[in-house]
Amino acid sequence: MPSFDIVSRIDLQEIDNALANCLREIGQRYDFKGSQTSIERNEKEIKIITDDEMKLKQVNDLVLTHLVRRKVQPNVLKKRLAEKGSGNSVRQICDLIEGIEQTISKKITNAVKSSKLKVQAKILGNEIRIDGKKRDDLQAVMTLVDDLRIDQPIQFINLRD
């Protein structure tokens, strides 16, 4: 029986590479000369510390640009509000979103069930497994899920016949 999984995973190595490229570019830019700007990743969050709000906006744009260059979808980041740090610095923490939340899982499974395709959708933790008799039905589910415009990056893995 053909099946596949719908997951939301991030490649932390690609994110580290994008952040390293971003720091390298910040070190070479004239408008960041003499500024105390740092970007670091701890587990599932990215901490950005810089001098003022304008530089914070530029760093955020650079991070998004470098994530896209490394083929990481920019909506893996969920930004928190910027806060004042020690001295005259500004700090912002961005969370890395991994795994499909329960509400999004229910939205996907309800859409699959209401599509009248002959497939079954099961929620397995933070993944969704789709089973069906025909490969064409599974591909129709893939296009259906892509058309839902979910604000989280999703991947289709483990396609088995």
Write the DSSP symbol of residue 125: T
Over the stretch 121-146, which tens digit does the pLDDT of each residue have? 899 888 999 999 988 888 999 999 99
In whole angstroms, give the CA distance from residue 87 to residue 73: 34
Please provide residue 149's backbone torsions phi and psi, each rounded to the nearest 5 degrees. 55, 55
Hey, what CATH class is 12-96 in? alpha beta
Q: Where are the domains of the chain?
A: 3-8+99-160, 12-96
Hey, what CATH class is 3-8+99-160 in? alpha beta
Q: Return the pLDDT at 92.
A: 93
Q: Do 3-8+99-160 and 12-96 have matching folds?
A: yes
Low-confidence stretches of the chain (pLDDT beneath 70): none
